Structure 1
Amino acid sequence: MAEKALDETDRRIIAILQVEGRLAIQELAARCGLSPSPCLRRVRALEAAGIITGYAAVIDQARVGLPVSVFASVKLERQREDALDRFEASVARWPEVVDCYLMTGQRDYLLRIVVRDIEAYERFLKDKLTRLDSVASIESSFALGQVKRSSALPIA
């Protein structure tokens, strides 16, 4: 699909919805200087173009009993396409992995894993990550605190 050209109004709509996804269309329209119908048409067009891919609640992970974030750098034995595909398919099934990036540099993947405690991370390593044939090494770093978290892109 061709990339949709975003005008200033589209950018304003996206910037607002990134922060306030549950905003009523009437309020969104007022803040964008539109009437509700054209505003809704623009939102639907952004959704149809795949620019807005969904809406979600932001959850405080500590308050739901998952206070530990671990960043795991994973190096595979080989970087062949089939090994990458198998690794990615496995990671996609594991709810503990909330982010996974294919990387350049010394490591192949960077994962953010969210768990209840260190013992839960140890079980995740032993039962899942280390059991993948293609994994050559894993380097884990535990987050001490979260300085910034945002899902909002710098659209404006």
Structure 2
Amino acid sequence: MQETGIDKFDRKLLAALQQDGRLTNAELSERINLSASQCARRRVRLEEAGWIKSYHAVLDRERLGFGLINLISVTLATHNRDSAKQFAELIMRLPEVMEAHALTGEMDYMLKVVTRDLKGLSSFVNDYLLPHDAVQNVKTSIVLDTIKEGGGLPL
């Protein structure tokens, strides 16, 4: 990400919004020592320029019944554009996939997947990943404890 076009006040504004996207312009004003109207103009400019991509609510995964976080490494059978594209299309359709990263090294992809329980994990792997033509190998790990999650960018 290029840094041209933002100053120290923009950085402070971005850092504050990264921690709490619901801050009003008046609240931002107090935190970064600019007027509320200046904060509003800066926020709009940063949104329109793509520095702020979107706003999200962080939901309580466990209260919503998703008891397991699973890290799944996937290796493709063949390494060509069609296989990668087909696999990416599959991943985009699966709401259980919270994150998907293409990697260098031994494995091709690392997925962060939520499931309700072990049966849900088994179904996910056996019903979606293993039958896919592009997939050669799948390895799963269950997260025992989350030490840090959703950390913001170091502004």
TM-score, normalising length: structure 2: 0.94
CA contact (8 A) 1:18 1:151 kept: no
Partner Cα distance (1:66, 1:111) in 2: 16
Q: Which runs of 5+ in 1 are unaligned?
A: none
Identity %: 37
Matches within 5 A, 1:7-156: 7-155=7-155
What SS does the corresponding residue of 1:65 show, helix, strand or coil? Answer: coil
Q: Which runs of 5+ in 2 are unaligned?
A: none
What SS does the corresponding residue of 2:84 show, helix, strand or coil? Answer: helix
Partner Cα distance (1:154, 1:62) in 2: 28
Deviation of 1:45 (Å): 1.1
CA contact (8 A) 1:65 1:116 kept: yes
Partner Cα distance (2:125, 2:70) in 1: 11
Indicate the structure whose relative CO is greater, using CA pairs within 8 Å and at least 6 residues apart.
1
What number of residue pairs does the alignment pair up? 154
CA contact (8 A) 1:102 1:110 kept: yes
RMSD: 1.3
TM-score, normalising length: structure 1: 0.94
